[in-house]
Amino acid sequence: MQQILTLVVVMSIQDPVGVSGQSPHEQHATWIGKVQFALSMLQVVAVSPAVLVSLGFVTLIGGLLVYLFVIRPALSPLRVIPGPKPSHWIFGSLGEIINTKWSDGKFPEPHLSWVKKFGGIYCYRSILDLRVLITDPEALKHVFTTNGENYPRAKAVRAFLRGLIGGDGLLSTEGKTHTHQRKMLMPHFGFGKIKDFVEVFSTHANELCQELKPLADQPNTSVDLYSYFTKLTLDIIGVSAFGFHFNALSTGSPVVDAMELLMSPPSMFYLVGKNFIPTFRSWPLPRLINEHEAKKMLYQTVDDVIAAKLKSTRDVNRPVDLVDLMLDENAHVEHKVTAEEARTHVMTFILAGHETTSTTLSWVFTLFAQHPQIEAMAREEARAVVAASGTIGWKSLGDLRLITACIQETLRLYPTVAALAPRVADQDDFLPMSDGKQIFVPKGTVIAISTAAMHRNPKYWSQPDVYLPDRFVEGTDAFLADKALRNGQGNTYFYMPFSAGAKNCIGMRFAMAELQVVVANLLLHYSFRLTDQAIVHPKMTGVSIKPVNLDMTIHSVA
């Protein structure tokens, strides 16, 4: 440090050239002034050792910052991957990602523009992380399936979800634990089991229709349809998961309030704190205290229901639920599900299937309101199914081809989760690309996946921003146009609303059946129209995206 200060002093008095235009006398005076300044600096250092420490600290911090934000990225093997230049020297491209222009109708920027410019793989910096975003189908297949074990979900994401569900469930585990849990739960989500839930879907869909009846055909009455969908899906999940009646559509309850609090999006302050400050969750902050009490109430409710089930014989006349299936299975397996494990699986099911389904319903009816001709065709299909089979039931779901296509197209344009949980390379690897190239990614590389950008990539989707349900109906012009862009391939790894591979959404069939039943039943009773107050630009809310304000009027249909 002393050598550095000596160098600074010497440099401060050196002036071999002199100042242009100065006389010798003026140059001499300037030199004398510099000597006096240098001597004063040495005096300060001599009497104040703290200056040495301060300068050393500043030098150390400055060097560290230069290394982290300049040298380290420049030396990374990822530097050869194209991508956007950082817009900020500290935050990188994070500001562009957070300050999205979705309110201007530019969904899903900025990733869509970057996909168009840089292709199926690009690298961007998010603070200290160099992240690699992939939309190339071969790379996605490799990360999610072929070499999926090398790409676990990021630890921060798993820790966040573990704190929400209160334990280790499918959303928060990896490796052998995840494989075991999925193997144990998968039979309960097969087609044979899903048909038992269809009656639950129909019952609650009809209850919603009754709740909306007094509000229909009132010229000056509008409703936030999203709020009704969140109550509907909570009621369905409660009965389907653990046989509990939330009664959110009718009377409500403190448990409903607790659930709504947990599902409400936190502010950026809380989001950053939970993900980057280890002790943050224990801080005595109002939101954290309320969340703790809400989780305590919800956990106790689930525990009480499970305890009651363990003490009694199941009533064969009531609908079967997920906990029933798990407890029934205990009689036939060596590793029996404990009450605590059952509660964690119930919480996982609620978290994964509540907000996501209500958000999808919101977008389905937003797009119907914007395309009334397609809505009318879907309604006629529902009527034809009822005329043929008497009801919207399990056996008739396969006949709802257009309604199913409308749901699939909705999930393409507005996937409930705009970006899947990031993966992290466990070991060095090479990502295969569709053009035959191999891209090296070192251990620890964060792999990002934007489903929203993937689903609107013009390289693989014809008219990518246009609502065309026919693209999911085999043999139609839209279907064939998309297939031609993919050289005859289907939409696997081009379309991933439920993720893919060994960690795809285990409740995918459940969710699709629920959506089919609810959409068909609502179409049979009502048509919905957007008001002038409606704002249907996407808005990030927790883990999903929903319309900003789904203000709609309700109209009965004959």
The model's pLDDT over 218-277, given as tens digits with 9 standing for 90+, comes to 878 999 999 999 999 999 999 998 888 999 998 878 888 888 888 887 777 887 777 777
Q: Report whether 209 belongs to an annotated binding site.
A: no
Residue ranges for the chain with pLDDT beneath 70? 1-48, 51, 67, 99-101, 103-104, 331, 542
DSSP state letter for 153: B
Distance between CA atoms of 472 and 347, rounded to whole angstroms? Answer: 32
Distance from C-alpha of 40 to C-alpha of 306, rounded to nearest angstrom:
78
Do the beta carbons of residue 104 and residue 97 sit within 8 Å?
A: no
pLDDT value at residue 29: 57
Q: What is the reported pLDDT for 498?
A: 94
Residue 439 and residue 116: Cα distance in Å, rounded? 19
Neighbour-count burial of 372, counting CB atoms closer than 10 A to its CB (0-12 exposed, 13-18 middle, 19+ buried): exposed
pLDDT of residue 467: 98
**DSSP annotation string for 335-371:** SPPPHHHHHHHHHHHHHHHSHHHHHHHHHHHHHHHH-
d(CA 233, CA 544) in angstroms, rounded, equals 15
* Listed residue (552, 540, 518) closest to 236, CA to CA: 518
Res 10: pLDDT = 45
Specify the pLDDT at position 530: 96
The alpha-helical segments, DSSP class H, found in 99-154 are 111-118, 137-141
The 10 Å CB-count burial string (b at 16+, else e) for 519-553 is bbbbbbbbbbebeeebebebbeeebbbbbebbbbb
Residue 97 near residue 106, CB atoms below 8 Å:
no
Domains detected in the chain: 2-14+25-70 (no CATH), 166-416+497-556 (1.10.630.10)
Q: Can you give the three-state secondary structure of 504-557, one letter per residue? A: CCCCHHHHHHHHHHHHHHHHHHEEEEECCCCEEEEEEECCEEEEEECEEEEEEC
Alpha carbon distance 403, 397 (integer Å): 10
**pLDDT value of residue 392:** 93
Query: Cβ(177)–Cβ(167) under 8 Å?
Result: no
Distance, in Å, from the CA atom of 358 to the CA atom of 414, rounded to the nearest integer, reads: 13
What six digits make up the tokens of 293? 């009490």
Looking at residue 148, the DSSP 8-state letter turns out to be G
What is d(CA 143, CA 282) in angstroms, rounded to the nearest whole number? 35
